[in-house]
Structure 1
Amino acid sequence: MKTKIKDFLLLGLFALASIGLQAQNPEKVDSPIPRPEYPRPQFERSDWVNLNGTWTYAFDFGKSGRDRGFQKSDGFDKKIRVPFCPESELSGVGHKDFIETMWYHKTVKIPANWDGRRILLNFGAVDYESEVFVDGKSVGTHWGGSSSFSHDITSFVKAGQEHDVVVYVRDENRSGNQPVGKQCTSFGSRGCFYTRTTGIWQTVWMEAVNTAGLRDCNITPDYDNNRFIFRPRFRSIQQGNKFRVSVFDGKRLVGKREIQASNTAYCDIRLRKAKSWSPESPFLYDIVLEVIDRKGNVLDKVNSYAGMRKIHIEGNRVFLNNKPYYQRLVLDQGFYPKGVWTAPSDDALKRDIELSMAAGFNGARLHQKVFEERFHYWADKLGYLTWGESANWGLSHNSTEAARNFLSEWEEIVVRDRNHPSIVTWTPFNETWVSGESRQYNRFAIDVFDLTHNLDPTRPINDASGWRHVVTDIWTVHPYDQDPESLRKKLSVRADGGVYKHHGDKEPPYAGQPYIIDEYGGIKWVPKSKRKDSASNSWGYGNDPKTEEEFFTRLEGLTDVILSFDHIWGYCYTQLTDVEQEQNGVYNFDRTPKFENMERIKKIFSKTPKELTN
């Protein structure tokens, strides 16, 4: 009897342990939906279905999946947790080698009450090329690893029924024809290159939209005239329909207007004593966008918001809301230990901004990655300036195919994010290394500059951060000198009025633009508690400081040099957190503080130039 009881207890303990293991493994158990929040806060509809969670997948190393009929699959053998990439721990896969092609599958049910409306299948981002199938039929293809896209699947599905959705992914990040960013093109992470991201890495969702509903709406703040300008686009035009905009200050309606709905129309709403948006006071107006038929029925309703702010350049100064504004930025690469390019939660996105502000920064240069819309939402809410950048590394900048791929993706990025008040600069390229003849690159850079200004004339453009400038509104450089006096000598204005440039005669003459140090520092420091776990190829710029005091002395010395120059109008310190083997962050990779005295960090990065303190 005792033996039976003992065996029963052992079996019970084994069962409990098994349940525990399964709960930690999405291959075994469908965990609660990850990243459940609505992914597009500036264009939010109430009728939507989050498709994150367990999908099935198959790698296709032989690129033979189409021949084997994978597009008609009703489920693959292995499971993955979307929206985390297969390289990540959070995906439940953790495959670290190259994945040039793979397939996803999920069975989705279309809500019965969606009958009669357009049904959109939306992807926050899929790296890089994708084709989507419903019940074996192709519904659309997309190129671009960082931009969001939608497929109208109305004619392929029926309300109230289940359908098989298959996503094919092709990601050739060593081809030179696609933006890669800091994804490593060799097997293991090295230098400033880190774990790769393949396939779905942002939220997937469905929503139902009226056939005459909104496609999008460009909202431009006109700070000087106390008004917002709205430029809507509709899915189709029906005579008699109207476009209605309502602007709220909290619960108080402060502006409302209706116009005839057409893709050539726009409207403005003037506000009495408009409240401005700034880091010091990040006020946001809530906005409701509606499409109404001739009988007054609401066909489509979208919740949005906007900030009243102006960013412009006068001489060598950047102005925010018509006042000179010095930017104290930090480099943020947006990598996460368990999620790679995907934050584990919405709170993690918010927390990164809070950590940066706690360290004394008033914004960030978002580096070699297009951040998801939820990050921009939190930057808008918290009052955090950002520079939007592409993941251009990996492109062969003299290649016409690479240029063609980049231009279409960059257009989607700018159009998606241009309504966010927190974004104050566009940076299409970073450190464009161009070998040989550069005519094609110069043409490429000019095309990107012109395209960006045509899509968004409200923000300055930093054409190629810190490196090979061609045509630019802001002149940026990346001096990583570790000795303050060496940095002072390099950055001093020459007798002929010239300034330090990386490429001298290969760049156009400096024309008096705002001169910003948008990378510097990068001082390595690893706390004693982290040293035993430090990567064997761990690194930072220059020689490692021997003590914390030496670190602080160097950091403050370099920063004070930059602040002391009148011709310099902002900086960006490298970087917010460590990223894998690159250990020069203000915080550790797991977002824990590196220093007991973080107040000293904040004091250094909160300093302002003498011009602002007089």
Structure 2
Amino acid sequence: MTIRNEYPRPQLERKEWLNLNGEWQFAFDHGKSGIEREFYKEGPFTNTIQVPFCPESELSGIGYTDFMAAVWYKRVVQIPESWLNQRIILHFGAVDYHAHVWVNGQKAGEHKGGYTPFSLDVTNFLNGEEAIIVVCAEDDTRSGLQPRGKQSGRYYSAGCDYTRTTGIWQTVWMEAVPETYIKKTAYKTNPKSGTVSIEAYLNQYEKELVLELEATYKGKGVAKETAYVSGSHIHANLSLSEIHLWEPGKPQLYDLTLSLKKAGRVVDQVESYFGVRSVSIEDKAILINDKPIFQRLVLDQGFYPQGIYTAPTDEDLKKDIEISMEMGFNGARMHEKIFEPRFLYWADQLGYLVWGEHGNWGLDITGSKGLERFLPEWMEAVERDFNSPALIGWCPFNETWDQNGTRQNDEVLRITYEVTKRLDPTRPVIDTSGNFHVVTDVFDIHDYEQNVEKFAEKFAEMGRGGKAYVTFADRQQYENQPYFVSEYGGIWWNPGEKEGWGYGDKPESKEAFLQRYKGLTETLLKNPAICAFCYTQLYDIEQEVNGLYTYERRAKFDPSIIRNINSQKAAIEIAYEQKERE
């Protein structure tokens, strides 16, 4: 049985591909000595595992939750005969953390980073129609040298840290490509001019190639262009005959076919899509298509009871967005984790705003070593998700606390911010969510005050045009950016249970919970100086029980009650409408 059999890279899809999810041979390597002992030749593969689920998970068939220094995988793959005159690319969606790959006993490559994809051309390692693939994944969440996100650095889950993920946790797959093929693309859209700037990158240069681009909207042709290839990089502009904007809750998308041709013959062809929308900042507001949209976001951490980091099905990814929208949220902070591309695909399809964030917790950034470990993987994430219209901002770090009395290295944040802006000038960047800001396009704070009156008082002066409320005022300062309360609430609610963890005191009744939720949320919606909020959180995770849904995604409250609170017009939206009428 093939598990998670949907195409894993929906923004660059080919017909010829082979899903390698399912049963693999598996071995523990607690002493991390397997490479020295040459497990890649003949390892002690005494277990089996269901890929792409991590060995800590129930769905993997292993369910081992202690620390694992290294784990090994092996699978024999039969290469389709029709592929043997093409290049064979082996893809990994994500392997946590340091992956080594062998094909037919030969080292094919390696990759550091537990959240981003990597690909290997394995053609030269094949000897006929059989490929013996062996993977070693080394993982050390306690080293301070790798981002671990919300994976617990202790044996037990505790507070807001949960069960770890080791090894393969996203789809493994192969595809057949020609000698010269389309490797990646980048799209920049302009709603005002109705144009799309397209950058396409080939794996190598080849003479006499052209790239044909055809965009359609609901099956109707709206743009066509031919670009001549010079080098391995191609730039083209499409002028759309019809302009349909991608907006929150109104996800109008275009399909795009890219055909690489030589002498009139198709050499390579990929299917893609894009949304026409802009993101900008004006008058302390974040604008989507030149219109201020109050961002009613919820914290989503991407955990699942049976799969941990990996959703059991593609439908589960879609469902998390649907249950959020059912409660009146229009987006999410993808928190302390680089989510898999299929989540962004559904966000694009459903019109759901998301902020991209790395799982930086666990990485020591008090020195320059942190930048060395962080930046390469972050750049891969920005490149991977650049084309998603749903992604409207970047936030590489979250709550960069000092380590053992040593302050964060501000240059790590500054350099990461600058690199992100150069890679993507089209979106705002928050350097570190909550604290401690160094340079940021949006000023955000975290505040878990549970008393509604005290919470409201913190923001009252700025609501009257006065001084903004700043947490850690000795470490960061507000410079008139858009103001975002990116974590609040976290109201603890697991009635009848003594165990659990949440913020502040537990309300005495469901009515008291809803009254608190209403008071906290309306405080932010009605403040004209605030442009966005993010409530903690969408669903419970293990011992953290401050979700609006249980870990199994059962609603704790009537969704319509939460939706009615969230859907009230915000002060910045009312002001915009008044200005438009004048």
Shift of residue 610 of structure 1?
Answer: 3.4
Residue of structure 2 in register with 1:565 after alignment: 527
Residue of structure 2 in register with 1:140 after alignment: 109
- Unaligned 5+ runs, structure 2: none
Answer yes or no: is the 8 Å Cα contact 2:151–2:162 preserved in 1: yes
2:246 to 264, 277, 287: 277
Residue of structure 2 in register with 1:554 after alignment: 516
Answer yes or no: is the 8 Å Cα contact 1:75–1:106 preserved in 2: no
User: What is the alpha-carbon distance in structure 2 between the residues aligned to residue 444 and residue 244 of structure 1?
Assistant: 41
Are residues 1:165 and 2:133 paired? yes
Residue of structure 2 in register with 1:225 after alignment: 193
1:310 to 272, 275, 278: 278
Q: SS where residue 516 of structure 2 aligns?
A: helix
Residue of structure 1 in register with 2:232 after alignment: 263
Write out per-residue CA displacement over residues 302-351 of structure 1, whole angstroms, 9 at most, x where no aligned residue.
00000000011113010000111110000000100000000000000000
Q: SS where residue 546 of structure 1 aligns?
A: coil
Instruction: Note the 1:17-166 alignment, pairs <5 A.
Output: 32-73=1-42, 76-159=45-128, 161-166=129-134
Alignment length, in residue pairs? 572
User: What is the alpha-carbon distance in structure 2 between the residues aligned to residue 499 and residue 158 of structure 1?
Assistant: 66
Amino acid at match of 2:565: I
1:491 to 444, 448, 459: 459
Shift of residue 598 of structure 1?
Answer: 2.4
1:606 to 548, 567, 570: 567
Are residues 1:460 and 2:428 paired? yes
Instruction: Note the 1:247-396 alignment, pairs <5 A.
Output: 247-261=215-229, 262-293=231-262, 295-396=263-364
Residue of structure 2 in register with 1:27 after alignment: none
Amino acid at match of 1:99: M
Q: CA RMSD in A?
A: 1.5
User: What is the alpha-carbon distance in structure 1 between the residues aligned to residue 156 and residue 465 of structure 2?
Assistant: 47
User: What is the alpha-carbon distance in structure 2 between the residues aligned to residue 245 and residue 120 of structure 1?
Assistant: 24
CA shift in 2, pair 1:56/1:271, >3 Å: same
Q: SS where residue 265 of structure 1 aligns?
A: strand
Amino acid at match of 1:316: K
Residue of structure 2 in register with 1:17 after alignment: none
Answer yes or no: is the 8 Å Cα contact 1:306–1:420 preserved in 2: yes
Q: SS where residue 522 of structure 2 aligns?
A: helix
- Unaligned 5+ runs, structure 1: 1-31
Write out per-residue CA displacement over residues 531-587 of structure 1, whole angstroms, 9 at most, x where no aligned residue.
4xx7x3x11111100100100111101111112211111100000000000000010
User: What is the alpha-carbon distance in structure 1 between the residues aligned to residue 233 and residue 35 of structure 2?
Assistant: 42
Q: SS where residue 561 of structure 1 aligns?
A: helix
User: What is the alpha-carbon distance in structure 2 between the residues aligned to residue 545 and residue 39 of structure 1?
Assistant: 42
Amino acid at match of 1:515: Y
User: What is the alpha-carbon distance in structure 1 between the residues aligned to residue 459 and residue 227 of structure 2?
Assistant: 54
Instruction: Give the TM-score normalised by structure 2.
Output: 0.96
1:201 to 149, 156, 169: 169
Answer yes or no: is the 8 Å Cα contact 2:370–2:412 preserved in 1: no
| Percent of pairs with identical residues | 45
Amino acid at match of 2:351: G
Residue of structure 2 in register with 1:421 after alignment: 389
Are residues 1:214 and 2:187 paired? no
User: What is the alpha-carbon distance in structure 2 between the residues aligned to residue 550 and residue 358 of structure 1?
Assistant: 22
Q: State which structure, 1 or 2, has the greater radius of gyration over its C-alpha atoms.
A: 1
Shift of residue 497 of structure 1?
Answer: 4.0
Answer yes or no: is the 8 Å Cα contact 1:100–1:171 preserved in 2: yes
Residue of structure 2 in register with 1:25 after alignment: none
1:580 to 542, 550, 555: 542
User: What is the alpha-carbon distance in structure 1 between the residues aligned to residue 459 and residue 153 of structure 2?
Assistant: 34
1:589 to 551, 556, 581: 551
Amino acid at match of 1:215: K
Residue of structure 2 in register with 1:192 after alignment: 160
CA shift in 2, pair 1:496/1:348, >3 Å: closer
Answer yes or no: is the 8 Å Cα contact 1:74–1:107 preserved in 2: no
Amino acid at match of 1:330: V
Write out per-residue CA displacement over residues 498-525 of structure 1, whole angstroms, 9 at most, x where no aligned residue.
3222221322x31110001010000011
User: What is the alpha-carbon distance in structure 2 between the residues aligned to residue 57 and residue 309 of structure 1?
Assistant: 45
Q: SS where residue 353 of structure 1 aligns?
A: helix
Q: SS where residue 426 of structure 1 aligns?
A: strand
Amino acid at match of 2:53: F
User: What is the alpha-carbon distance in structure 2 between the residues aligned to residue 336 and residue 310 of structure 1?
Assistant: 33
Shift of residue 272 of structure 1?
Answer: 2.4
Please identify, of 260-269 and 386-395, the stretch whose mean Cα deviation from structure 2 is larger: 260-269
Residue of structure 2 in register with 1:18 after alignment: none
